[in-house]
Structure 1
Amino acid sequence: MTNARRTVIVGGVAGGMSAATRLRRLNETDDIVVLERGPHVSYANCGLPYLVGGVIAEEGSVLLQTPRSLGARFGLDVRTRHEVTAVDPVRKVVTVRDLAADAAFELAYDDLVLSTGAAPVRPAVPGIDRALACRDLDDVGRMMRAIDEGAATAAVIGAGFIGLEMAENLVRRGLAVTVLEAAPQVLGPVDVELAAVVESALRAAGVAVVTGARVVGVRSDTVVLADGASVPADLVVLAAGVRPESRLAVAAGAEVSDTGAIYVDDHQRTSVPGVYAVGDAVAKRSPRGMRDVPLANTANLQGRRVADVLSGHASTARLTRGTAIVEVLGTVVAMTGDSERTCRLRGIDVRVLHSHPLDHAGYYPGAEQMSLKLVVDAADDAILGAQAVGGTGVDKRIDVIATAMAAGLRASDLANLELAYAPQFGSAKDPVNMLGYMAENLRDGRSRTVQWHELDEAVAGGARLVDVRTAGEFAQDAVAGALNIPLDELRARIAELGPSVVVYCAVGQRGHVAARILAQHGIDVRNLDGGIRTWRAAAGRSPAWRTSDH
């Protein structure tokens, strides 16, 4: 043991603990010390909102390990309530404060791994200290005490993934919930026409949603907005995003991004010799540059990879595409890669595909409709991103597309994937295959489409708008100014049309058939992508890349 190397790991959740346990499995003799500022290690922080909501009944269910169990099984020296306050990379020591004993000491290391995570963003407004984040079990305890003591109203500041999970679980506990979001939509990473579906689901469940809301104060039982409105809030939950906790890395001389994320190479090494970093504090490499992506999957993988590097084993870095999923009051939202908004703001020429398939064969009971969106590089057919909203089956479609992206498949290659089929699980033409068929048609020029945000411009430019649904569907809901010619009557009524036409139907399928008919009769025709369903979801909204705040 006299020749054993000592690895000190700062942070005992996700990436830090994955690094520690993997390192022990690879090397039985090293001295591995894990220092955690909080009272718990190796807990499932992604489950915390569901602990508040009572979906997870016992706190012990999210406590995966304890210092004692980690010591017994892995021979780790795990110390909770120990905060690292300084790093001296020249002497290779860290300064540690034992919070329980209120005493400081130095600890030498051969290798140092920073897994310091990310801290909630706290707006600088009066009274914000009353707002509770949902970062650890102490936060959960404070929320549950407030509810048990009679809190009846709640304001959730921030409508990202965590904010909406918290809103859902506070509704489960019987509170009247208001979600406050500074941006013009909920779920900022998701494009507006799909985010609108989630917002509608929130409102339908009784959640008040205020977008474009700037919080200027938090009082004893209200949250005050810039327009003077007051929102009732016995409980205030702060979910306005996170910021990398990189103070130790910066103090040690490590390079960080403009957002404070620690730069690491493909082996998780910082710019400081002997110092590595993993998890939410680290800037991730994506296909289009560096990103801050606070995801548990990525943190755990990086912890595993840094253990490989420290043990002298080959390690391969992974590009991060931000694949994520959340369920909000029965509506599932998932995404991978870049949004249309992100691509357009970067000046990328994209093709966009919307579809609204059933999760399994329509003739089999219980089929649910979902909304899928694929963003494709117009230059080379590369898949840039995908999003989905719906119920059952959303997760596996996004996972298939994320896997296809990792494998370098093109959008049209999705048509050739062989996916499991039985009527209760999918369709003979799976929704992912259908996206591939659509991508083929666009790539080869057999289809031309108009996006929901391009329709007004197309009509203003002289295109005749034609609704090819049935007369009954047209009577129930139609785009203003449209001419109704049902698809089955279209060939007989072509003479009623001019040289330029935009067709639409419910979701785009009949519109595609109509467009093929008209194109072969010499008409300049485009199909409204995603049909009236996509157009209606986005009604009254502007694409984010056209707004002044971008």
Structure 2
Amino acid sequence: MSKYIIVGGVAGGATAAARLRRLDEHAEIVLFERGEDISFANCGLPYYVGDVIAERGDLLLQTPAKFRGMYNVDVRVCSEVVRVDTAQHTVEVRSADSVYTERYDALLLSPGAKPLRPPIPGIEHPRIATLRSVQDADRFRAMMETGRSVVVVGGGFIGVELAENFCERGLSVTLVEAMPHILPVFDTDMISLLEDELRRHGVELVLGDGVAGFEEQSDGGICVRLGSGREVHGDFVALAIGVRPDTSFLEGSDIALGARGHILVDEYMRTNVPDVYAVGDAVLTRSAQTGKEAALPLAGPANRQARLAADSMAGVGRAYRGVIGTAALKVFGRTAAATGQNERALQAAGLKYGEDYRFTVIFPRHHVTYYPGAQEIALKLMFRTSDGVILGAQAIGSEGVDKRIDVIAAAIGQSLTVADLQEFELSYAPPYSAAKDPVNMAGYAAENILQGRSVPLLPRELAAEVAAGAMLIDVRPPEEYHTGEIAGAQRIPLPQLRERLHEFDPKTPIIVCCKMGLRGYLAEQILRAHGFTAKNMVGGYYYLRMQHEEEI
């Protein structure tokens, strides 16, 4: 009879334990969890802080007793594995009343990641807290009983979700981010939609300014000193500046770790040591797109890795394909989602826009416009110029966002192209979509660029084109002018374009811009058919406005 030891519960460890039991009814399975809870909804913690999830018990997906009864697993909570001896196949465990050794035949490591707490002066103040456990969430709820203002340090997923939930509870919220923008998974041309949404709901954003120190005030509040010399104040501070793998207990063992402490694993979730496997936020796996090492602390990959690791431990394993990086979050009335590589990652890998990759930005409605409630989605799709393979996508809107990104994520997972997106047969009824789904539309727009039927121009390229003598034409109808002026553009509504072609110099390049890009594309085709050199502004005026381009 095999004996499996699992270190850590939640998404990785508990999932693996349940899978192992389904594969082997007679195995001995022991699960060690340092905390009080074997399996809890850690992704739901910000919403418990915000009282969206009102009942604490709803976060507890499995109690130790329930898990034992259902899966016959020896669950030992409040028991921390402090050392692994791979030569002896043992782990050293520290519980409340003893330290003891337990032997294994196969070991699964799922220790997770812990919040970063860099050595900033004053960071140990008791009203500066991080969010990792249900107990941490309890602590925030307690501080909210007396505190009316909070400084959130960090503009990643957790920081933004906490900022929203604090704001919804009536607190005054300041969010501090050292980088120029929040949420680095999104490109800077898209992120303004979310930053504007936060500001619209009263969240003060302090961007491009890191924390230099914390000081307690005479009233019990905390002064957060920033690198610029500016000071912001809150009754308490939520620290959300990232995580690092919780693997210090493996230092000195034979288990190989990466530069930042991640456990190195192969495609079967095996470490470099026989009979030792690892999953979750603490592991360094590979990108399914590039094959390069990647660490992605998300619940979805952790669950899939856990199932595959359990299969490998039981001798029925198959290879893990790697991570794509698909995620979504709610920011008040908007949903934002992304999958694959963003433009920053492509450029960091040495790829050049125009030569190696391009992208399109479209603004379709999430369902047909004649059915009430149709909402716009800002959808950015990146693709390889050589063959149209989809590289990544980002979408932001109030409805239908996650659905579209999930479809594109599936396409990326199969290395499909923008031409394939055009052929997807997706569910349609007026309340849910359109006969041409936004995913299809993104494929059409990208294919037009790929085949040379449309020559795109980005806002960042516009100034140089105009300076070189290009003519800029605004083809929007007059009723749309109130949304904003495209400075320097000659206004010629699309229906008048054909009858005014004689006004243009055939030797002068022309740039066309409309509201969202579609009418600009039509104008581009008219001009090119009559011998003019024309380019279409990607995403139209909407895309310009997203980047706060007030003047051209």
Instruction: Give the TM-score taking structure 1 as reference length.
Output: 0.95
Alignment correspondent of 1:419? 426
Once the two structures are TM-superposed, the CA of residue 475 in structure 1 deviates from its matched residue by 5.2
Contact persistence 1:157–1:239 (CA under 8 A): yes
- Give unpaired runs (5+ residues) of structure 2: none
Q: Between the two proteins, what is the percent identity of the paired residues?
A: 44
Q: CA deviation at 1:482?
A: 1.3
- Determine the C-alpha separation between the residues in 2 that align with 1:32 and 1:262: 22
2:54 to 54, 57, 61: 57
1:243, CA displacement in angstroms?
1.1
CA distance in 2, matches of 1:214, 1:407: 40
Matches within 5 A, 1:160-179: 160-179=156-175
Pick aligned residue for 2:302 from 299, 302, 307: 299
Q: 2:485 aligned with 1:483, yes or no?
A: no
CA deviation string 1:260-304 (max 9, x = no partner):
222111110011222110000011211121211111011011111
Task: Name 1:235's counterpart in structure 2.
Answer: 236
* Alpha-carbon offset, residue 326 of structure 1: 0.1
Equivalent residues of 1:353, 1:438 under 8 A apart: yes
The amino acid across from 2:235 in the alignment is D
1:195 to 187, 191, 194: 191
Q: 1:332 aligns with which of 319, 326, 335?
A: 335
- Would the aligned equivalents of 2:89 and 2:105 in 1 still touch at CA under 8 Å? yes
User: TM-score if structure 2 supplies the norm length?
Assistant: 0.95
Cα offset for 1:341?
A: 1.7
Tell me what 2:371 maps to.
Answer: 364
Shift of 1:229: 1.6
Tell me how far 1:31 sits from its aligned partner: 1.1
SS in 1 for 2:167: helix
State which of 15, 18, 21 in structure 2 corresponds to 1:21.
18
- CA distance in 2 between counterparts of 1:206 and 1:299 reads 35
In the alignment, what sits opposite 1:70?
Answer: 67
Amino acid at match of 2:52: V
Q: Secondary structure at 2:264's aligned position in 1?
A: coil
Whether the 8 Å contact between 1:249 and 1:262 is mirrored in structure 2 is no
Question: Which SS does the other structure have where 1:7 is aligned?
Answer: strand
Structure 2 residue aligned with 1:91: 88
CA distance in structure 1 between the aligned counterparts of 2:40 and 2:502, rounded to whole angstroms: 68
- Whether the aligned pair in 2 keeps the contact of 1:353 and 1:374 (CA below 8 Å) is yes
Q: Which residue of 2 aligns with 1:342?
A: 345
Tell me the equivalent position of 1:500: 509
Q: Distance between the aligned counterparts of 1:461 and 1:34, measured in 2?
A: 68
Q: 1:146 aligns with which of 115, 132, 143?
A: 143
CA drift of 1:378 comes to 0.9
Report the alpha carbon displacement of residue 530 of structure 1 after superposing the two structures with TM: 0.5
Letter aligned with residue 203 of structure 1: R
Gaps of at least 5 residues in structure 1 are 542-550
Aligned to 1:269, the other structure's residue is in SS state coil
**CA displacement 1:25-63 (0-9 Å, x = unmatched):** 110111111111111111110111111111111110010
1:476 CA drift (Å): 4.4
Question: What is the number of equivalent residue pairs in this alignment?
Answer: 535
Q: How does 1:246-261 map to 2 (within 5 A)?
A: 246-261=247-262
Q: Secondary structure at the match of 1:526?
A: strand
- Check whether the contact 1:386–1:401 (CA below 8 A) recurs between aligned residues: yes
Q: Distance in 2 between matches of 1:528 and 1:235?
A: 46
Structure 2 residue aligned with 1:547: none
- Structure-1 residue corresponding to 2:475: 468
Give the match's secondary structure for 1:309.
helix
Partner AA of 1:230 in structure 2 = E
Q: Which letter does structure 2 place at the counterpart of 1:54? A: D
363-372 or 123-132, which moves further after superposition? 123-132
* Cα pair distance change 1:459/1:260, threshold 3 Å: farther
Aligned to 2:254, the other structure's residue is in SS state coil
Give the SS at the match of 1:283: strand
Residue matched to 1:544? none
> How well do the aligned residues superpose, as a CA RMSD in angstroms?
1.4
Q: Deviations over 1:446-471 (max 9, x none)?
A: 01101122222222232211111123
User: Partner amino acid for 2:12?
Assistant: G
